[in-house]
Every structure is written in C-alpha cells, then in structure tokens.
C-alpha cells in the first residue's frame, strides 16, 4: 500500500467513520432489489419508493408474484421502470427457482440474476453479508478514483481491478461507501468543493 493510499484511507476513516450504504433495507433481497432500482437515479429517490414498497412486498415470493404492470407503476418514479420491474420480478423468481429462496452469496451466482452486474453484486455482498468480494464502482467512485490518480481507467470493471490491487481487501467495503459519501458531499462532478476537501493534501488535482 502506497503512502498516498494509506493517507486517503486514514482521512476517510476520520471524516466518514460510519460510512455505510444509503439504501434503506432490512434483508438481503430488499437491498438487492433496491440496488437494481437505483440505476440512473438517486438513493434518496429509491428510498422514497421502497418505504412503501417494502411494506407491501415482504418476501421474495411477494416480489416474484407481483403483477408486472402494477409493479411498473409503483416504481415509476425511479426511471427506466419497465426494465427495472422486469428485472426485479425476474430476479425474485430466479432466487426462488434456482437458489432455493435465498439470495446467493457469490459474485458468480449474483450476476446470473436479471439486472445484476458486478456493482450491484458487490453492494449486496459487502453491505449485507460483509463479504469483500470486490470493490463497488459507481459514478462517484469512478470519478474520485480518477481524480485522485488511483486509476487511469474509465471502464468500471477496469477501475475496480486497479482499486483492488492498491487498496487492502479489508478496506474495500468501507472505502467504497466512504468515497461515495465524499463524492456526494464534496467532490461534485461539475463543481468540486476543493477548498473544503479533506483529501486535498493527497489529491493530484489539489484544487486545480
């Protein structure tokens, strides 16, 4: 681990000691379905939808048996609702029929589910099961990793591989959550608040 990476991690722990996933959930399947619905929208928006959705659909079976058109309408505000509804209901059915009703606990099995790529699988494994199988790379992690000089890649899978090489596995879950929080609060895509940034001393951009 380089001095820069060690410093970044120290700062993130100091600023975001309780960093965690912003998607509200109580079970593995709730987190899985919320993450599927979070594509191209905000976690705040998804939480508004799931605050009522998760009271109606409590089990994997409830989601599997959902009426597609009604479910589409219930999650309409998350955007791309037709595809998301199809994926959530399809994933629920596959969990029942292929995985005996239990959300699988491996990247390979999770990514077999409709609408689930590495990012979603990593969110579920890290946040709910505490399994650091990979590094969650969303738009914030991709942006900050590039700005901090941790990767020269722009493809999320390649960014993840770079981060997994330089950041200790024991830090993967925390660091991903903390970087997301920092991206939302400080390192904005268009107007980063460099003067307020705790990472400025170790950032190659340094306010430029």
Catalytic positions are 119, 138
Contacts from 75-82 at CB under 8 Å and sequence distance 24+? 75/37, 75/49, 77/45, 77/48, 77/49, 78/37, 78/38, 78/41, 78/45, 78/46, 78/49, 79/40, 79/41, 80/39, 80/40
Q: Write the CB contacts of 139 (distance below 8 Å, at least 6 apart in sequence).
A: 183, 189
Q: How far apart are CA 180 and CA 72, in angstroms?
A: 28
Q: Write the CB contacts of 142 (distance below 8 Å, at least 6 apart in sequence).
A: 154, 156, 159
């Amino acid at each position: 681990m380089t001095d820069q990476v060690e410093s970044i991690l120290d700062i993130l722990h100091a600023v975001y000691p309780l960093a965690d996933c912003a998607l509200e959930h109580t079970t593995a399947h709730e987190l899985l379905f919320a993450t599927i619905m979070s594509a191209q929208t905000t976690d705040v928006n998804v939480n508004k939808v799931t605050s009522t959705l998760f009271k109606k659909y409590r089990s994997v079976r409830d989601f599997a048996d959902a009426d597609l058109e009604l479910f589409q309408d219930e999650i309409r505000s998350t955007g791309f609702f037709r595809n998301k509804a199809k994926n959530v209901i399809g994933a629920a059915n596959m969990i029942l029929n292929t995985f005996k009703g239990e959300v699988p606990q491996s990247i390979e099995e999770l990514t077999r589910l409709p609408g689930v790529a590495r990012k979603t699988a990593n969110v579920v494994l890290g946040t709910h099961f505490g399994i650091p199988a990979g590094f969650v790379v969303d738009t914030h992690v991709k942006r900050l990793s590039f700005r901090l000089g941790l990767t020269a890649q722009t493809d999320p899978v390649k960014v993840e591989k770079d981060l997994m090489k330089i950041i200790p596995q024991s830090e993967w879950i925390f660091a991903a959550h903390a970087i997301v929080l920092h991206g939302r609060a400080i390192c904005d895509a268009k107007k980063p608040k460099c003067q307020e940034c705790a990472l400025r001393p170790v950032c190659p951009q340094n306010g430029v």
